[in-house]
């Protein structure tokens, strides 16, 4: 596991070291030859810290951050809130001040209640990742912390950084249980050239390749006027994705694996928004084909220069089956 090295020096120390500033001058009553009270002996002179002493103090504070004690408590649950026992937990402690060095790694597993903890280690930050066979790992699961996160124990914490948990209030990590995956034909990252003048291109989802008109499962048309670039280099373009004899519907959720029974539209138009122009666009769809097969498709349009549609598809070869959850161990062969 790679752990980022934390290089933070307090602003006051850093500024003093960089600009060569010494400490503020001693108060007038602390100087030689002056008394804090009339009639008393003068106070000894105050010693002004040198620039070297400022630098040494900053280095000492920096190194001290990496010795901050770390104690961490967590719990792993599934998407329904049930505890996940025997989940693997990986820790990465940023305890090495060497910018080219590596922090320390630690491991444990969750108990019957899904709980885990680690104490007796040190560092600036702690990275935590949980996993278990048969569960999905993700950054976020239904608005909750997903399967990994980092926690700061030294230095200023950003407003969106989570506070270190306590034994009374452990950090909750969510893993989503996998369902019964179907035997799917998967096509990955297959680029298909698309003309700029609206001439249609049809694609077979079992292979991801362009096929003659009337034989494809997915049709893509694109109209581009890149000769009309404005001062920023932006130009008008739009694409249409359609399913000959069938329909498509946008796929919104990361864990939406079942194609809907209805609600399909004959086509979907893609164009960059005026307020945030881009030469690229990406859409995910559920596809219902004319012969009753279902698939889920990721379409990435690239309109800079020659145009390409990059296709990733999951095709269920069983007619009428809407199950599109994929497991590489159940990869189906193309028909």
From residue 307, alpha-carbon distances to 156, 158, 188, 199, 221 in Å are: 47, 41, 18, 12, 11
pLDDT at residue 2 above 50? no
Instruction: Tell whether 35 is covered by a domain.
Output: no
**Cα 93 to the center of its chain, rounded Å:** 20
Determine what percent of the chain is predicted with pLDDT higher than 90. Answer: 65
pLDDT per position as a tens digit, 250-284: 999 889 999 999 999 999 999 998 788 999 999 99
pLDDT at residue 44 above 80? no
pLDDT at 49: 63
pLDDT at 331: 85
**14 three-class SS:** helix
Tally of helices (H runs) and strands (E runs) in the chain: 2, 20
Instruction: Tell whether 40 is covered by a domain.
Output: no
Residues 162 and 206 in one domain: no
Determine what percent of the chain is predicted with pLDDT higher than 70. Answer: 84
pLDDT at 111: 98
Instruction: Tell whether 273 is covered by a domain.
Output: yes
pLDDT at residue 34 above 80? no
Residues 164 and 202 in one domain: no
Q: How far apart are CA 260 and CA 102, in angstroms?
A: 48
pLDDT per position as a tens digit, 165-205: 999 999 999 999 999 999 999 998 889 999 999 999 999 99
pLDDT at residue 37 above 80? no
Domain range spanning residue 319? 185-330
pLDDT at residue 33 above 90? no
Residues 161 and 197 in one domain: no
Residues 263 and 318 in one domain: yes
Looking up tokens 């025997």 gives 86
Instruction: Tell whether 263 is covered by a domain.
Output: yes
Instruction: Read off the pTM.
Output: 0.71
Strands (E), the chain: 69-78, 88-93, 104-109, 115-122, 125-131, 135-136, 140-141, 144-145, 148-152, 171-177, 185-194, 201-204, 209-211, 218-224, 237-242, 247-250, 267-270, 280-288, 294-302, 307-316
From residue 196, alpha-carbon distances to 71, 142, 221, 276 in Å are: 59, 39, 8, 21
Phi, psi of 60 (to 5 degrees): -65, -40
pLDDT per position as a tens digit, 105-128: 999 999 999 999 999 999 999 999
Contact residues for 199 (Cβ-Cβ < 8 A; gap 6+) = 221
pLDDT at residue 42 above 60? no
pLDDT at 157: 86
Residues 88 and 210 in one domain: no
Instruction: Tell whether 240 is covered by a domain.
Output: yes
Residues 119 and 9 in one domain: yes
**CATH assignment at residue 130:** 2.60.40.1120
pLDDT per position as a tens digit, 209-237: 999 999 999 999 999 998 889 999 999 99
Q: Compute the average pLDDT of residues 39-53.
A: 54
Q: How far apart are CA 136 and CA 133, in angstroms?
A: 8
Q: How far apart are CA 86 and CA 213, in angstroms?
A: 53
Residues 8 and 101 in one domain: yes
Q: How many domains does the chain have?
A: 2
Q: 306 or 118: whose pLDDT is higher?
A: 118
At which of 177, 196, 227 does a domain end? 177
Instruction: Tell whether 130 is covered by a domain.
Output: yes
Give the orientation angle of helix 51-65 with respect to helix 11-19, to 10 degrees.
140
Strand order from edge to edge, sheet including 237-242? 209-211, 201-204, 218-224, 237-242, 267-270
Looking at residue 227, the DSSP 8-state letter turns out to be G
Band of pLDDT at residue 53, cut at 50, 70 and 90: low
Residues 3 and 142 in one domain: yes
Band of pLDDT at residue 140, cut at 50, 70 and 90: confident
Residues 255 and 110 in one domain: no
Q: How far apart are CA 34 and CA 219, in angstroms?
A: 91
At which of 144, 177, 210 does a domain end? 177
Residues 245 and 226 in one domain: yes
Q: Are 85 and 112 in contact (CB under 8 A)?
A: yes
Instruction: Tell whether 207 is covered by a domain.
Output: yes
Q: Which two tokens stand for residue 92?
A: 């990465």
Q: Is the dihedral of CA 290, 291, 294, 297 positive or negative?
A: negative
Cα radius of gyration (the chain): 30
Looking at residue 28, the DSSP 8-state letter turns out to be G
* Least confident residue range of 28-37, 72-81, 261-270: 28-37
Instruction: Tell whether 33 is covered by a domain.
Output: no
Burial of residue 14 (CB within 10 Å: 0-12, 13-18, 19+) is: middle
Band of pLDDT at residue 38, cut at 50, 70 and 90: very low
pLDDT at residue 74 above 90? yes
pLDDT at residue 35 above 60? no
The mean of the pLDDT values for the chain is 86
Residues 59 and 119 in one domain: yes
pLDDT at residue 29 above 80? no
Residues 162 and 192 in one domain: no
pLDDT at 317: 95
At which of 157, 177, 197 does a domain end? 177
* Distance in Å from the first CA to the final CA of the chain: 41
């Amino acid at each position: 596991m790679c752990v980022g090295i934390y290089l933070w020096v307090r602003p006051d120390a850093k500024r003093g070291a960089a600009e060569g500033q010494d400490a503020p001058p001693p108060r007038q009553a602390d100087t030689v030859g002056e008394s804090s009270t009339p009639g008393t002996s003068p106070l000894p002179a105050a010693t002004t810290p040198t620039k070297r002493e400022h630098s040494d103090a900053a280095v000492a504070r920096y190194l001290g951050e990496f010795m901050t004690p770390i104690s961490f408590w967590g719990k792993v649950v599934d998407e329904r809130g049930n505890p996940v026992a025997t989940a693997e937990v990986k820790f990465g402690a940023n305890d090495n001040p060497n910018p080219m060095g590596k922090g320390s790694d630690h491991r444990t597993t969750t108990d019957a209640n899904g709980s885990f903890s680690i104490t007796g280690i040190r560092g600036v930050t702690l990275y935590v990742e949980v996993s278990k066979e048969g569960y999905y790992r993700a950054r976020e699961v239904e608005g909750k912390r997903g399967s990994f996160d980092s926690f700061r124990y030294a230095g200023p914490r950003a407003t969106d950084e989570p506070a270190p948990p306590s034994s009374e209030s452990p950090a909750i990590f969510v893993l989503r249980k996998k369902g019964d995956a179907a035997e799917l034909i998967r096509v990955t990252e297959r680029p298909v050239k698309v003309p700029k003048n609206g001439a249609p291109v049809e694609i077979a989802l079992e292979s991801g390749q362009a096929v003659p008109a009337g034989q494809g499962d997915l049709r893509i048309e694109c109209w581009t006027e890149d000769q009309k670039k404005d001062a920023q280099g932006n130009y008008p373009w739009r694409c249409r994705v359609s399913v000959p004899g069938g329909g498509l519907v946008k796929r919104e959720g990361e864990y939406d694996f079942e194609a809907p029974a209805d609600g399909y539209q004959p086509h979907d138009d893609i164009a960059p928004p005026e307020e945030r122009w881009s030469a690229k666009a990406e859409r995910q769809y559920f596809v219902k084909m004319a012969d009753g097969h279902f698939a889920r498709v990721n379409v990435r349009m690239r309109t800079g220069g020659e145009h390409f549609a990059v296709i990733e598809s999951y095709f269920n070869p069983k007619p009428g089956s809407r199950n599109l959850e994929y497991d590489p161990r159940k990869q189906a062969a193309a028909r």
